[in-house]
Amino acid sequence: MPLNTFALSLALTPAVLQTLISHYLHRKSLHHKPNVHISYDESIRILREFLIYASKHTLEDLQTFSCQRVPAPHWVKVETVTVPEDCLRGAADAINQQLGPKGIARVGGKEWWQWRGPAEDLKAEWIEMKDDYNERKRPGHDHPGQKRIMLYIHGGAYFFGSLDTHRYQMQRHARKLKGRVFAPKYRLAPQFPFPCGMQDSLAAYLFLLKEYSPKEIIFAGDSAGGGLVLSLLVILRDQGLPLPAGAILISPWVDLTHSFPSIVKDNPGDYIPPYGFFHKPSAAWPPPNADELASLKKALKNHPANPSDAVPDKSIRDDETAERGYSMHKSSSSEADHATSRRQSTEIHHGKLIVPIDGETLEIKDQIQMYTTNDLVTHPLVSPIFQPSLGGLPPLLIQSGGGEMLRDEQLYVAHKAANPTAYPPGDPFLDEHDPNRETLNKYPGTYVQLQVWDDLCHVAPTLSFTHPAKYMYRAIAQFGAWALACAQDTEVEIVDDHGVSSDTDSSDDPAAKRDTDNSQHSTPLDSIGKAGDPLPAFKDRMIRQRVDKKGNIYPLDPPSACPVLQIPPSQVGVFNPALVRKWLAAKTEWDTRYAKEKLRVQRQRMKELAYGLQNFPGELPPPSSLAARRTVPRVLPSKTGRKSYPMTMWSRMASKHDERTVVKEQLKGDRSARTSVDAGQAGASMKAEAAQQTGENAAATQRAAAVTGAAVQDFSSPGAQPNGVGTSGPKRMSEDGDDGNSSTNAHTQAPSLESFTPLLVLPGYEGKNLEEENASTRALFHEAGAMADPSWAARLRHRPSSNAGSGTIRSALTTEPPDDTASTIGGDEKSLGVTTNGVDAASTRAVLNARGVLGGALSDNESAYRSFEALPSEGQVTPGVGNESTPRPEMPEREYFKTADEYVH
C-alpha cells in the first residue's frame, strides 16, 4: 500500500485499539512509568508502528510524506526568508578550514557538497507568537524577543523530517522563551550527505550574526540535529568564530558507530527500531557497495573518454555479494592477534567495515549510514564523540531519555564535554586528528547541565501533548533564559504558565492520580515543574540530575557508579557484535524480500555514477549523493504543496496546550504570569571558578616576578590600591575600558583614580534580620562597578519566589519571601543602604542601577546612618591629600524613584 493518509490510517488503527485495551488491563504495572498516561502510551506505539510501516516503502516516499505542508496555527507568525550566498560561502570556507587537506580528501573534495542542485536557495523560517510579533513591530517599542533568538536544527536521522513536522515543537520554544526561533531547511541525506547539512546550518548562524549579537542567540537541536549542533560549536570554537550564549541538545545522536551498550539492551520504552532503518530499494538508496565502487573507479581510469565501457560485468558470485551486501570468512590467527593487540575490533578499509564475530571476520560492503560513507562514520564532525576535546564550548543542556537506545552515548558525551582530558578518544583517533594532543589539553571543560529523564523515549518533546514532555519544555525554557541572562549580564523574563497548566500534574488514569510515585529516593530534591526555577551551582562543571515523570529531581549516580563512564577509550567506536547480529538478521530479511529490486537499482546506479563522477574534476563525491549523478532526472523527492492530514492532526493535538495558554494570556493582558531569570547560583559558581583561575594566574605572575626580580605590585588586598576596591578595580577596567592594546598588564599596573566615575559607598543595614537580603537593593551586586561585602554574602541564603509570583533566580544573594511595603522615599530610611532585610522595594532600584554605586565598604561597628562622601571623579583631588572635603555625588531626579506599586504596574 502507498504511504498516504488512508493507507496509514488502516495500518495504525489496529495498533491504537490494541494499545488502548492493553493499557487499561495492565495500568497498575505502569504506575512508575510515563506510560501511565494513555496519551504517552498511544503515542509511542503510533511512532513505532509508523517507522515499521515506512520501512516497507522507499526512502523517497518517507521524505515526501514528511515534507508535506502542515498549516501553522493562526496565533503563530511564520516568515520564510532566504539565506544569502555570501553566508553559504563563508560557511563552506570555515568547514574546509576545519577539515584540513586530509579531511577534504576523505570527504571527496571541497566543491561537490556546495552544489545545491534542485534544492535551489537555502530557505529558513522565523517562528514566533503572533502577539509577540505585533508587539515587536510596534513603533518605539523594544520587545525582548529581539534579544532572544533560538537557532533550531531539526532531527530525523539526517534523512527525513522537515520544518513542517517540527514546527509545533519550535512554536512552543518560542512561546515559553518569549523569543523567536530561526530554523533552516537544510539539505537531507542520502542525496546530500555530510557535510551538506552542516554547511546549511552554519550558514544560517552566520546569517543571524549579521543582525544579532552572539550573546542573543542560543542553539538547539534534537536527535541528529543535536549532534549537528555539537559539531557546529566545535567548528566555531576552532575557527575563532563567535560562540552563542548556550546550546540545548535534546537526545543528541553523537556516535554513528553505535558502540555503547544501551543500543543493544531491551528498550521497550523507545520507538527506534532495534536494528536500525531499512527501506525498500530505490533510486536514492542503497548505493553500490564497496567492491562495485572500487571496480568502477579503476575502470574509469582506464576508460575516461567512454564511461559506458567503465561499467564492469558481473558474475553470479558478484551478484550474490551485492545482494547480501557483506561477506564472511574464517579469521586467521594473525588477524585475531592483530585485533587483540590493538584492542580495536573494528577496522575500516576502503569503505568496508571489518568486524570479527565468533571467530569469523565479517566484511560489510554496503553503506550502513545514510548520512555518510563507511569511511567517515568515525570522523569527529560526523560523530562528535570522537572529538579530541569538547571543552571550551558555551554552556550545554543535554536532555536524555532514560528508556531510549542512545542514552549511554549521551551520558558519555556530557561528561566528556565537562572533563575533556578524562574521556579522550582512542589513540588511533588522536593520532589522526590531534597527534600532538594540543587540542585535548587546550580547552577548559564546558559547563553542562545533564538531565536523564526516567524511562522516557528518544526526543520525548516530540510528544508535546504528554505530561512528561511539558516538564521538559519548562526545563529547556529555564536553561535557555539562564544562558541568555548570563551572556547578556541581565535578567530575562519568560512565560510562567504553571498556573494555566491545570492538567499538568493530573493523570489520564484515575489510578495514577492515587499514585504517590514512590521512587528509590524517597524525597525529591527539587522540582523543575515550574519555568524559571533556579539552576543549582555547578559542581565539577556539571549539574547532574535524574528527573521523574512528574518533574521531581533526584541525584544522578556518581560517575564512578556509571558503567558506561568506565569504558576504556579504545572501545569507543568499536561496532557492537550483538548489534551487528541484529542488523544482519534484519538486512538478510530485507535483501531477500527485495533482492531483484536491489540488484536492478544498483546496476542502474553504476551507469549513472560512470557519468556523474566526472562532473567534478579531481573530486570523488559519495555514491549516494546527487552530485555524483547530477545529470540524472527525477532523483529528488517530488515537491508537493499537498497538505499532510495526519501531521496536521498530530500538530493540532500537540498545540492545544499552547493555544489554551495564549488565550488565557490574552485575557490577562499585562497581568499574565511572568518570571525573571538571571545568572543565579549556577552563574555565581561559574564566576567564582573564573575568579579563582584569575587568582591562580596572578599568583603565578607574582612567583615569576619573584624569580626574575621584576617589580610587580600586589593588589591582592584592599589596602594595596588607593581606592580600596581590591582586585576588582583592574578587572572592571579590563572589562569596561581596556581596549586590549596596552603594553602594561592589568595585573601589574594600578588603576588611576581619575578613571573611575563617582562611587557612592552605602553602609550595611543594621536591621533585625541580618541573614536576609533586601531585594530592593539586590541589583547593586549585578551593576558594573558595584561590590558587596563578602561578610554579607556569606550569611545570605537562597530567595524563593516572591509573594508577587516572581520566581527570580538570584545570583549569590537570596532571601525569604519579601514584604513589598518598604519605600526609600516613603519612609524606609534604612533601605538606602545595602540592606539585608527581605524587602523587594522596587522604589530603590534607580539607586541600585545608577552608575558607580558601591556598597559594603564599612566595618561592622560603623553606623548605618553615617553619611559617606563620594570618591573623586576625574579632575578631583584624592580625599586626604590636600583636600578636606569632597562634594556628594548628584542623586537622580525624583522621577527615577517609584513605589513598589508603581514598579509593578
Q: Kindly write down the DSSP assignment for every residue of 486-519, as one continuous string.
A: HHHTS-EEEE--TTT-TTSS--SSHHHHT-----
Using alpha carbons only, what angle is made at residue 580 by residues 579 and 581, rounded to the nearest 5 degrees? 90
Cα gap 705→713, rounded to integer Å: 10
Residue with grid cell 560557511, as numbered in its chain: 91
pLDDT-based confidence at 34, cuts 50/70/90?
Answer: confident
Higher pLDDT, 786 or 107: 107
How high is the pLDDT of residue 638? Answer: 56
**Torsion on CA atoms 558, 562, 564, 566, rounded to nearest 10:** 80
Asked whether the bond before 195 is cis by omega within 30 degrees of 0, the reply is yes
Q: Which range has the worst mean pLDDT, 274-278, 563-567, 708-712? A: 708-712
Distances (CA, A) of 101 to 241, 490, 780: 20, 43, 53
pLDDT at 437 over 90: yes
**DSSP states of 162-199:** -HHHHHHHHHHHHHHHTSEEEEE----TTTS-TTHHHH
618-663 pLDDT tens trace: 888 998 998 888 766 655 555 556 778 788 888 888 888 888 888 8
How high is the pLDDT of residue 308? Answer: 56
User: What percentage of the chain reaches a pLDDT higher than 90?
Assistant: 38
How high is the pLDDT of residue 519? Answer: 43
Distances (CA, A) of 765 to 287, 446, 900: 75, 39, 20
Q: List the end-to-end C-alpha distance of the chain, in Å, as a whole number.
A: 61
Helices (H), 552-679: 577-593, 595-612, 645-668
Higher pLDDT, 747 or 241: 241
CATH architecture under which domain 59-287+367-593+644-678 falls:
3-Layer(aba) Sandwich (3.40)
Cα gap 731→811, rounded to integer Å: 19
**String of b and e for 353-381 (b: at least 16 CB within 10 Å)?**
bbbbbeeebbbbbbbbbbbbbbbbbbbbb
The cell numbers describing 307, all together, are: 564511461
The cell numbers describing 422, all together, are: 578524562
Q: Which range has the worst mean pLDDT, 463-477, 548-562, 601-615, 779-793? A: 779-793
Helices (H), 674-797: 680-708, 728-736, 790-793
φ, ψ of residue 294 to 5 degrees: the values are: -65, -45
How high is the pLDDT of residue 57? Answer: 92
**DSSP states of 464-488:** TTSHHHHHHHHHHHHHHHHHHHHHH
Closest CA to 528 of 463, 469, 461: 469
Question: Across the strands, what pairs with 218?
Answer: 150, 246
pLDDT at 786 over 70: no
φ, ψ of residue 217 to 5 degrees: the values are: -125, 135
Q: How many residues does the chain have?
A: 905
* Helix H or strand E encompassing 205: helix 196-209
Cα gap 614→617, rounded to integer Å: 6
Cα gap 434→441, rounded to integer Å: 10
Residues acting as catalytic residues: 223
pLDDT-based confidence at 704, cuts 50/70/90?
Answer: low
* Every domain of the chain and the residues it spans: 59-287+367-593+644-678, 696-751, 755-905
Residue with grid cell 510515585, as numbered in its chain: 517
pLDDT at 337 over 70: no
How high is the pLDDT of residue 552? Answer: 87
Residue with grid cell 570555515, as numbered in its chain: 94
Residue with grid cell 581596549, as numbered in its chain: 739
* Helix H or strand E encompassing 220: strand 217-222
φ, ψ of residue 764 to 5 degrees: the values are: -75, 160
- Mean pLDDT (the chain) is 75
The cell numbers describing 351, all together, are: 569503505
Closest CA to 150 of 229, 252, 234, 70: 229
φ, ψ of residue 391 to 5 degrees: the values are: -80, 170
pLDDT at 674 over 60: yes
Cα gap 221→198, rounded to integer Å: 13
Q: Which range has the worst mean pLDDT, 98-107, 242-251, 624-633, 885-894? A: 885-894
pLDDT at 44 over 50: yes
Helices (H), 669-679: none
Cα gap 44→36, rounded to integer Å: 12
Rounded mean pLDDT, 716-728: 36
φ, ψ of residue 309 to 5 degrees: the values are: -75, -15
pLDDT at 807 over 50: no
φ, ψ of residue 804 to 5 degrees: the values are: -80, 0
Q: Which range has the worst mean pLDDT, 65-74, 286-295, 399-408, 618-627? A: 286-295
pLDDT-based confidence at 700, cuts 50/70/90?
Answer: low
Residue with grid cell 536591621, as numbered in its chain: 767
Cα gap 229→221, rounded to integer Å: 6
Looking at mean pLDDT, say which of 287-301, 436-450, 530-544, 784-798 comes out highest. 436-450
Cα gap 241→312, rounded to integer Å: 47
Sequence-separated contacts (24+) of 351-359 with Cβ below 8 Å: 351/290, 351/293, 351/294, 351/375, 352/290, 353/575, 355/575, 355/577, 355/580, 356/331, 356/577, 357/577, 357/580, 357/581, 358/577, 359/330, 359/331
Residue with grid cell 583631588, as numbered in its chain: 877
pLDDT at 398 over 80: yes
How high is the pLDDT of residue 103? Answer: 94
pLDDT-based confidence at 678, cuts 50/70/90?
Answer: confident
Using alpha carbons only, what angle is made at residue 12 by residues 281 and 153, rounded to the nearest 5 degrees? 65
